[in-house]
Each structure stands twice: as structure tokens, then as C-alpha cells.
Structure 1
Amino acid sequence: MKNIIILSIVVLFFSCKNATEDNGKIKIVTTTSMLTNLVSEIGGDHVLLQGLMGAGVDPHLYKASEGDVTKLFEADIIFYSGLHLEGKLVDIFEKMEGSKNTVSLGDRLPKNELIASENFASSFDPHVWFNIQFFKQFAQIVTDELSKADSKNAESYRENNKIYQKKLDALESEVIAIISKLPEEKRILVTAHDAFNYFGKAYGFNVVGLQGISTATEAGVKDVQNLSEFIIQNNIKAIFVESSVPRRTIEALRESVLSKNHNVEIGGSLYSDALGNAGTEEGTYIGMFKYNVNTIVDALK
């Protein structure tokens, strides 16, 4: 019933209001913290930016509040990750189509380059930001959309994008250099859920998640038992929790391994579906990526 009320409010709001500007700045709303950081890099001081999801928030399970609806109603552009990542917001975004400039970044990527998934709603793995080249495409899409909506500041957006693209290229080079220190036979990444498949494909890791692509899917006893056997057979040194997923499933996995007289450590907490706290290095996409890579390599050496 609550979702129906929110959707009705959305329809009413968007039927009677056009996009406006505030003090010459366009109003932007983003969903995930990765996108909030990205739009901040490109938009700079020319945009009024609000992100719906903060540190540690799981986008798979996120539900819109009435306050969120107000933010969406007032926005000139809404950027969301798409590919059904924000599963519980899909109905709201669909209601907005034609009434508001909603930009689904993941759905703009070439489908033949995405990882297919028969078990996920979009038929594709939505965790595309773990491929830096895809995030570079996100930056270009954001630049183009901001430039169209605010042509007087288009040159500034393009310059910010040029700078950010160079930063992302430098990040990729640094990531490759760090990972090269880890022997290929040790590049097995066991995490709480399947968020790192694009990372694995890009950098040569065998990635195994205890839960599926969506955290809405619970891991069962059989999943824990099967993965514990895999860890023992492959002599995996460390497994990882995620900042946006409860620790209990990975802790249960470790206990299962220990019960079979094999030691495995929790190698640290990785940022998967959300960045770290605002104002920290891990609160940026680049800082998050570096932190994850260093944590993974240090634990698996």
C-alpha cells in the first residue's frame, strides 16, 4: 500500500511541475554513493547534488521514503545505476519516464560487454562500476547529460571530465601494478555476494560469492557447506566481508571451514555496493577502488 501511495504522489508531482533551476544551478539526484561521487567530480560547483544512499547502504534492498520522493520530484536530472540494481525503486523510475530526465547509466552500456545473468531481473550483473572502463563511460554519459541540460557551463563539465578521465586511467595503471604482485594461483576472491565479477573478469580473479548477485537472495546451509569445501580444496587463505552486507554469513562460512580443521581468515571488509563514509578517502570511487585492491592483495599473498 505504501508503494502505491508513493507512486501516486510521484505521478501527481510530475504532472504539475517542470524542471527548474535554483540560483542558476541544476538540481541533481543520484541513487548510489558511487554515482554521487561521480556527478560531484563532473558537476562541481555548477550543480546542486543530493544522493539518496550513503555509506553502507545496500541498493538491492533500498526503499524510497517520502523524503526521497520529494528530492526526486524537485530534481532536474536523476542519475541511477540501472540494470535493476536499485530493484525496489524501479517502479518509481518507470513512472517518471516522459515526465523527468531519468538517466539509467548501466542501461547505456553495450550489452554485449556485460556479464549475463539468468538469475537476475535485468538479465545482467549490475555491478558494472568494478570495471574502471565502464565507469569512464559513466563519466562521459554524465558529462553529456549535464552539458545538454546546462549548456552555459558545458565547457566546465567537459574540462572536469577530461581531468577525471585521466585520474581513472591512473587508477587503472595503479591497480594493475598492485595486482601483479599477487601470484595468479592465489587470485581467488571469496566474498559475501556476487558483486565482484566485473573486477574478476578485468583483473584475472576467480570470484565466488556466498550469496547471489542480489543480497535479497539468502545463502543456505548447503551454500555454506559447498563453499567451505571449495575454500579447503583451493587452500584459500582469506575471505572477505562487505560493508553493505551483514557479516554473519561470512562468519558462518569461516566457522564451517574451521570445523573441518582448515584455517581461513577474514581478510577485511570490502566496499561493494556503497562507498565509505563521506569525507574519507574510501568515500570516493578512486579511494574505494584502491582500498579494495590493497586489502585483497595483502590478505591473499
Structure 2
Amino acid sequence: MDLTRRHLLALAAAFAGAQAARAGTAPMNVVTTTGMIADTVRVIGGDAVTVRALMGPGIDPHSFRQTRSDIVALTRADLVLWHGLYLEAQMEEFLARLAARQPVVAVGEAVPESLRIAHPDYEGRFDPHVWMVPDLWRHVADGIAVALAEARPDAARDIARNARAFRADLDRLGIYATETLATIPPEARVLVTAHDAFGYFGRAYGFQVEGIQGISTESEAGLARIRDLVELLVARGIRAVFVESTVPDRNIRALIEGAAARGHEVRIGGELFSDAMGQPGTYEGTYTGMIDHNITTIARALGGQAPQRGLNGWLAAEG
């Protein structure tokens, strides 16, 4: 049987499954691209959903391509939620075709355009990393709640209740971010990372953000960029740079070596979660834990004050 025929059969099964879910009380089968969306769906959807994320810890969504098993999961889903804003660049064509056959929603695009950061190189495109700021992720959470309630109107009341509780958690996380990051001396608020995933973070909390690569990890880091950042580290006396869980650390190591050659010592301030969360079953493997980890790690590395175990006291102990 050829792949196209298998896809058509899978689509027919998906429609049948969706009708059965709507007719009864079985949990709705939701497939998401990123872990951040999946975790938010689990919290807001509660017992009304089962969730599968295609992209696990350490997976770079910019370069991710769906496998055959991913295609089967997507076509069998009652609801597909992806980020959009050109994050899943390699999947966009497939997801557009899928949207003609079943419910598919780009929830990242719930963030109003007026709040997005324009892509520096492509007109009409935007920085997709809106999850870095809890106040922006509220819009995505609201979009997820709407999509879930529309797909499962019988569970709409529970979904609305869970969404309110999640928004309250985001408010608390946002306050922690603002207060904790404000303890970093102004002259030390320079965040150097592997790629430019922290633009919204920098705008929200007053940081100069410098990524070695651009907004997408598909861009290449040139020698000139490395030299410029080494010059910045030396001139500003920056003592810490950060690796990312989804990006190889070779360029960060090159920065450290370049600064050392200039007589300036720079250390790795920690690993940040940029495009994926931590391991499943851990606090860092949740949206709240991911952001708590980043806030706490950045603050402690750059001279601010933050509890070692973070907002809720649940972060993994250092070392």
C-alpha cells in the first residue's frame, strides 16, 4: 500500500475517532508540536484530553521534520495544536494541508500582532518565542482554551475553570520574573545565548539580548559575529554566557575561548530552556518549571538574588 493511500485511510480513521469523541465522554485526542503547548493543554484540558507532543526535550522545532509515525498521530488526532509564527518551518506545508481535513489551530498566533517582535530579515514574519514571557503566554493559553472548548463543548465549563487557574499561575510567575530579574545590577543585564530566542524576554525585563545565531537556529553563526561578541564580553566585563538545551554549545565555547585569549574570563552561567522544556516527569518539564528555571538561573548567574530552588522551591538542586 503506498504512503498516500495509508494517509487517506488514517484520515478516515481520524474523522471516525473525532465523531466518537464528540458523541461520548472519552478524552479528546490532542496532538501538539511543542512541549510548551502540550503542557498547557494538559493543565487546561484536564480529564477531557489526552495529549501527545511531537517534540520532546532537546528537540529544535526550527529544524524538526515530521516522521511517518508523527503523520499517523497527526491524522488520527481529534485536534492538532501547533505554534505557528514560522516556528515549525519544516512542517508548515503539511499542517496547512491537514487543516483542510480536520481541526488544526496555530495557537501562537493568538498573541496580538501589536505585541509581536518583527523578524529582522523577513517582512511579515515575527519572532516566534513568545513563551519566554508569561504575560504573552496568557494569550496562547486563552487561544488553547477556546480551541479545546470548541472541540469539546460538553467540557467547556471545566476548561474555563482550569484556564482561570492557569492564568493565575502565569500572573504569579510573571511577578516573580519582574521582581527577581530587577535585582540584577543594570550594567549586568546582558544576556548572551546560543541563538536569539530571548528577544521577548529582553524587552519585558530590560535586558540587552545577544544571540550567536539568529531567531532561527537554521541561520549560521559567522566568524565576524563571534568576534563581535567576544569584543562585547571584554568591553562590558561580562562574566557569564548561557548554553541552550536545544542548541549545541560549540559556539558558546568559542566565545569563552575567544575571551580567554583576550585575558578575560567568562564562564557558562547555566543551561537555559529555549525551544523545549526539561525532561518529562520533572518540574522543569512543565511550562511553569521551564520559565522558573530560566529566570532563576539568569538572575543567579548575573549577580541578582533568587532562591536556589526557584519560585516554588521545586527546581532541581544545582550540581
TM-score using structure 2 length: 0.89
**Paired residue type of 2:151:** A
Structure 1 residues 41-89: Cα deviation after superposition (integer angstroms, max 9, x where no partner): 1011211211101111100011100000010011011111100101111
Describe how 1:121-132 pairs up with structure 2 within 5 A.
123-132=125-134
Q: Which residue of 1 aligns with 2:11?
A: 14
Structure 1 residues 128-160: Cα deviation after superposition (integer angstroms, max 9, x where no partner): 111212211111111111111111111110010
Displacement after TM superposition at 1:16 (Å): 7.4
Q: Which residue of 1 aligns with 2:54?
A: 52
Which of residues 176, 179, 185 is equivalent to 1:177? 179
Displacement after TM superposition at 1:13 (Å): 4.2
Q: Which residue of 2 aligns with 1:222?
A: 224
Percent of aligned pairs with the same amino acid: 38
**Does the C-alpha gap of structure 1 residues 138 and 61 become closer, same or farther in structure 2, counting only changes over 3 Å?**
same
Q: Give the unaligned 5+ runs of structure 2.
A: 304-319
Displacement after TM superposition at 1:8 (Å): 7.8
**Aligned mates of 2:280, 2:116 — CA distance in 1:** 29
Q: Which residue of 1 aligns with 2:155?
A: 153
**Does the C-alpha gap of structure 1 residues 24 and 299 become closer, same or farther in structure 2, counting only changes over 3 Å?**
same
**Paired residue type of 1:300:** L
**Aligned mates of 1:157, 1:231 — CA distance in 2:** 47
**Aligned mates of 1:192, 1:8 — CA distance in 2:** 42
Structure 1 residues 196-216: Cα deviation after superposition (integer angstroms, max 9, x where no partner): 000000111110000011111
Comparing 200-209 with 118-127, greater Cα deviation is found at 118-127
Which of residues 262, 269, 289 is equivalent to 2:291? 289
**Does the C-alpha gap of structure 1 residues 8 and 194 become closer, same or farther in structure 2, counting only changes over 3 Å?**
farther
**Aligned mates of 1:207, 1:84 — CA distance in 2:** 21
Q: Which residue of 1 aligns with 2:282?
A: 280
**Paired residue type of 1:24:** A
Q: What secondary structure sits across from 1:88 in the alignment?
A: coil
**Aligned mates of 1:96, 1:6 — CA distance in 2:** 15
Describe how 1:130-209 pairs up with structure 2 within 5 A.
130-209=132-211
Answer whether contact 2:32 2:54 (CA < 8 A) is retained: yes
* Segments ≥4 residues shifted beyond 2 Å: 5-17, 19-23, 118-122
Q: What secondary structure sits across from 1:174 in the alignment?
A: helix
Q: What secondary structure sits across from 1:118 in the alignment?
A: coil
**Aligned mates of 1:89, 1:165 — CA distance in 2:** 29
Q: What secondary structure sits across from 1:53 in the alignment?
A: coil
**Paired residue type of 1:64:** Q
CA RMSD of aligned residues (A): 1.8
Q: Which residue of 2 aligns with 1:300?
A: 302
Answer whether contact 2:226 2:254 (CA < 8 A) is retained: yes
Displacement after TM superposition at 1:162 (Å): 0.8
Answer whether contact 2:81 2:104 (CA < 8 A) is retained: yes
Answer whether contact 2:190 2:238 (CA < 8 A) is retained: yes
**Aligned mates of 1:122, 1:33 — CA distance in 2:** 26
Answer whether contact 2:14 2:78 (CA < 8 A) is retained: no
Describe how 1:82-93 pairs up with structure 2 within 5 A.
82-93=84-95
* Count of aligned positions: 297
